[in-house]
Amino acid sequence: MSGVLVGKKAPGFTAKAVFKDQIVENFSLESFKGKYVVFFFYPLDFTFVCPTELHAFQEKGDEFISRDAQVIACSVDSEFSHFAWLNTPKAKGGIEGINYPIVADLNKNIASDYGVLKEDDGVAYRGLFLIDKQGVVRHQVVNDLPLGRSVQEAVRMLDALIFHEENGEVCPANWQNGDKSMKPDQEGLLSYYSS
């Protein structure tokens, strides 16, 4: 499967994962229904840009929790590789201190289902999927391997989704929580530009 998943049910999976310093045998995306999920892929454990991203998501952890969102990471490594990396100090390139789940996708089925598998070398692109409480993908972005993503942008998109669901209004370009929104019609657009 590839292409745009926005507006579609997020592909389900049950896989091994590392969570709270334990290996979980049957970690399931379905178990998070009723919460927002920020599901992101990274290429490989023990690499270079990847730990900066995992730590950046951890640093924003309280912001995701306060919005009833669960962060979940995934790569094509085994659960044993995740566990070893999680037990490696940050100063040595590790991800010690990460407390959200990291899914093992050794058979590469999850990356393939989400359309982020880089076929030529078998790793995942830096894909990020914002999944709503009903399990529908509402936002996706995919970066090439050398391009680290903006975790603040993931928070902004989550805020925009929550605002829209609660208020029925839409969020214009560069909208930040607290900014002016608009009604989704011509009158709303004209009102937005006139103020």
Q: What is the pLDDT of residues 124-148, one digit of tens each?
A: 999 999 999 999 999 999 999 999 9
Q: pLDDT grade, residue 2 (50/70/90)?
A: low
Q: Is 171 a catalytic residue?
A: no
Final residue in a domain of this structure, among 124, 147, 170 = 147
In the structure, what pLDDT confidence band is assigned to residue 1 with cuts at 50, 70 and 90?
A: very low
Q: Is residue 90's pLDDT more than 50?
A: yes
**Residues 58-70: tens digit of each pLDDT:** 999 999 999 999 9
| pLDDT tens per residue, range 99-109 | 999 999 999 99
Considering the chain, what percentage of its residues have pLDDT values greater than 90? 97
| pLDDT of 187 over the 50 cut | yes
Highest mean pLDDT among 134-138, 177-181, 189-193 belongs to: 134-138
97: containing domain: 14-147
Candidates 43, 60, 46; CA nearest to 150 is: 60
For residues 194 and 68, what is the distance between their CA atoms, to the nearest angstrom? Answer: 35
How many domains, in total, are found in the chain? 2
Residue of 5, 50, 137, 182 with catalytic role: 50
Report, as an integer, the average pLDDT of 69-81: 98
Q: Which helix (H) or strand (E) holds 104?
A: strand 102-104
- CATH number of residue 141's parent domain: 3.40.30.10
Contact 10, 39 (CB under 8 A): yes
Q: Is residue 189 part of a domain?
A: yes
Q: Is the separation of the CB atoms in 148 and 126 below 8 Å?
A: yes
The alpha carbons of the chain give a radius of gyration, in whole angstroms, of 18
1-5, 38-42, 85-89, 122-126: lowest mean pLDDT where? 1-5
Identify whether 156 is part of a domain.
yes
Other Cβ atoms less than 10 A from the Cβ of 72: the count is: 21
Does 49 lie in the same domain as 87?
yes
Q: Are residues 132 and 157 in the same domain?
A: no
